[in-house]
Amino acid sequence: MFSKIIGALGLTILLSSCATVIRGVHEDFKVVSEPAGADVYLSTGEKGVTPATFRKRRRGNSFLVTISKPGYYSQTVTVKSKGSPTGAAATAGNAATAGIGVAVDAGTGAWDSLYPNPVSVRLVPQPGEHPARNRRLAAGDYPVAIPAERAGMVRSPYTRRLYDVHAVPHGSLVHDVDVDKFFLNP
Alpha helices (runs of H) in 56-139, residue ranges in sequence order: 85-92, 100-108, 131-139
Question: Could you tell me which residue, 182 or 1, shows the higher pLDDT?
Answer: 182
pLDDT average, residue stretch 52-60? 86
Q: Residue length, the chain?
A: 186
Q: What is the pTM of this model?
A: 0.48
Specify the pLDDT at position 160.
92
40 burial via Cβ count (<10 Å: 0-12, 13-18, 19+): buried
Helix pair 100-108, 85-92: axis angle to 10 deg: 150
Among 10, 1, 74, smallest CA distance to 40 is for: 74
Q: Where are the beta strands (DSSP E) in the chain?
A: 26-34, 39-42, 47-49, 52-57, 63-68, 75-83, 112-115, 119-122, 146-147, 153-155, 162-164, 173-176, 181-184
| pLDDT for 5 | 55
Q: What are 91-135's pLDDT values in tens digits?
A: 445 455 545 444 444 445 456 788 889 999 888 887 665 454 555
Q: At what angle do helices 100-108 and 2-16 cross, to 10 degrees?
A: 50
CA angle 162, 164, 165 (to 5 degrees): 125
pLDDT for residue 136: 54
Q: What is the mean pLDDT of residues 79-89?
A: 64
DSSP letter, residue 131? H
Whether the pLDDT of residue 49 is over 60: the answer is yes
| Residues 149, 156: Cα–Cα separation, whole Å | 13
